[in-house]
Amino acid sequence: MILRESIADLVARYALAYDTRDWDALVECFTPDASLTLRVAGGDLVGPFRGHAEIMRLMRDSAAAQDDRRRHVCTNLVVDPSGPGTATARSYLTLISVRDGRLEVLSTGTYTDEVVQVGESWRLRARHIELDLPTDGRRSR
pLDDT in tens, 86-137: 999 999 999 999 999 999 999 999 999 999 999 989 999 999 999 998 423 4
- CA 37 to chain CA centroid, Å, is 10
Percent over 90 (pLDDT), the chain? 88
Mean pLDDT of the chain: 92
- Tell me what the mean pLDDT of segment 34-40 comes to: 96
Res 15 pLDDT > 90? yes
129 vs 110: CA distance, rounded Å? 6
Percent over 70 (pLDDT), the chain? 94
Res 138 pLDDT > 80? no
Yes or no: say if 87 and 7 are a contact pair by the CB < 8 Å rule: yes
* E strand or H helix that includes residue 19: helix 3-19
Residue 29: DSSP 8-state: T
